[in-house]
Chain A
Amino acid sequence: MSQTLAPAGAPDVGAPPTPDSLIHARGLTKRFGELTAVDGIDFDVAPGESFGFLGPNGAGKTSAMRMIGCVSPISGGTLRVLGMDPVADGPRIRARLGVVPQQDTLDTELTVRENLLIYGRYFGLSRAEVSKRADELLEFAQLTERAGDQVEHMSGGMKRRLTIARSLINEPDLLLLDEPTTGLDPQARHLLWDRLYRLKQRGVTLVLTTHYMDEAEQLCDRLVVMDKAKIVAEGSPRQLIDRYSTREVTELRFAPGVQETLDGQLDGLAERVERLPDRILLYADDGEAAVAAAHARGLEPEQVLVRRSSLEDVFLRLTGRSLVE
């Protein structure tokens, strides 16, 4: 067994050893004509890991996922999925993937159960085997009572659960989820997170994209932050917060018009001060101390909120922009 050194330029934090990687990407690039959707990104995903792409719409997350899913040819760089080359072995790789696309691709004419049955057949499963797995997955997705209903009449949350159930019909080694909870109400999201968390505990390797901070914090062991087709940071949610933010954040809201008059009065109040259109963020490990300092300077905010730092703050720091506009 030879020890493999991480290639130059590889992410230094949390990068798993390359030989075991389920996904291995170096300089991965996707171009659509003039537009570069993914611009030379490097990452590895280890077995059993839960890995996230975090970034705003248009950052290149979906393009990266489609390349990993072997349904979109790469424009440059290297990509290995399950140790194979997507160009030469697309169907063999896809046989071992589960895919939850951003847009539902269910057959709305068929019933819930029929959607699972026919999908299993695409993986070459026998009718008997697929029938057994469909029953288990309906149970897992809490759709047993709806098994005979036509998909067209189901809610968005149920369709998402069915899509996740469908993606598991081939017992995949790697599950790809592109914005799994976008557009769902909070209750439906929490149910979905719970199901995904169970999969993670069973050792299924998850790769997901999201522009929700809380989703990334809940589900990802490790993530990369993408902005404008590039990876701008990598690490666990905790590491990223430690590295790019402070322990606490203080949010100050002023009466309308006041914030614009505060030039110079905020300097030095905290390690870092961010001005958003509607509020001011003070980055300091001790939020209460920052509030006291502000009051000592005679500032009179209408609202004060001291909270723990989140990935949202990391993103703001890295890109100067909010994640969800």
Chain B
Amino acid sequence: MTALASVPWGVGRVFEHRFLQYKRSYRATIFSSFLTPVLFLASMGLGLGTYVDASGNQALGGVPYIAFLAPGLLAAACMQSAAFEAAFPIMAGLEWTRVFHAMHATPIDGRDIALGNIVWIAARMLLVAAIFTVVIVLFGAAESPLVVLAIPVAALTGVAFAAPIVAFSATQRTPDKFNALFRFGITPLFLFSGTFYPVESLPVFLQPLAWITPLWHGVALCRGLSLGIIGEDPVMAVVHLAVLLGFVVVGTFAAIRTVNTKLLRG
């Protein structure tokens, strides 16, 4: 594993480049990272929540709907942002501006480029999750101080999507399939992974689908932390965490592979 000795250096340079790009647009992204949760929590948490709470919230574990919903939205928002970041900027670097090919002409190699981008997405997701969590607290929708730990967990959920999507993006020459990815992948997950209601409300045959996607695990962890009930089932918490980490590790190895293949082919 001598090759790993140089990892932090090259990855750091790629991260630095992505940060330099980000400095041009950070105001707009921070504003939207703030606005998205405000809009969702106001309309669904407060608006819809009034009706949900009025009809009894036993199925939600006896907490107000907004407290149930907020951590789910947090994990889902990270999934969506991370999926976007893993699709278009990767295609840009490999196919449009070809900046990643420029990096590859230096001592930087494909592994550094794949890892640097994934680490960058992780950092971006920490920021998205932190802003979202502040909004949750401002809405009074956090039941436990453990909600602070939901920030890294939500970011991890994002990376669990980002790593395999980076791997996929590097195999594509055009963004044609990204539409399908978002329409038939990310959006249905957003709707059916327990974000808005417990997965147990779904028809039994659909429930296993939720279990195999990272979002459900991320939602369950964030919710457990925000509601302060994570300790009630520590075994499941470890399983959730293991699934998310599994997606990150496998996705990252796949991304290193596909990014390298693309760079060596030109």
Q: Which residues of A contact B (CB under 8 A)?
A: 66, 69, 71-73, 90-92, 94-95, 97, 99, 101, 103-110, 114, 118-119, 121-124, 166, 170
Contacts and interface: CB of A to CB of B under 8 A. Distances in A.
B8 to A, nearest CB: 12
A105 B99 CA distance: 5
Contacts of B13: 121-122
Given A95-B106, A107-B97, A124-B107, A73 B21 contact: no
Contacts of A108: 97
B257 interface: no
B97 A69 contact: no
A124 B9 contact: yes
Closest 6 CB pairs of A and B: A105-B102, A122-B106, A91-B107, A99-B105, A105-B98, A95-B107
Interface of B: 6, 9, 13, 16-17, 20-21, 24, 97-99, 101-109, 263-266
A105 B266 CA distance: 12
A107 B21 contact: yes
Which among A72, A108, A118, A121 has the greatest number of chain B C-beta atoms within 10 A?
A118
A109 B23 CA distance: 11
Given A105-B98, A107-B102, 15 more contacts: A69-B105, A72-B264, A73-B264, A90-B109, A94-B105, A106-B97, A108-B97, A109-B24, A118-B16, A121-B13, A121-B16, A122-B103, A122-B106, A123-B107, A170-B106
A109 B97 CA distance: 9
Contacts, number: 72
B48 to A, nearest CB: 39
A30 to B, nearest CB: 11
Contacts of B21: 107, 109-110
Contact of A114 (B20, B97, B106): B20
Nearest to B101: A105
Contacts of A106: 97, 99, 102
Given A72-B264, A110-B21, A118-B16, A103 B98 contact: yes
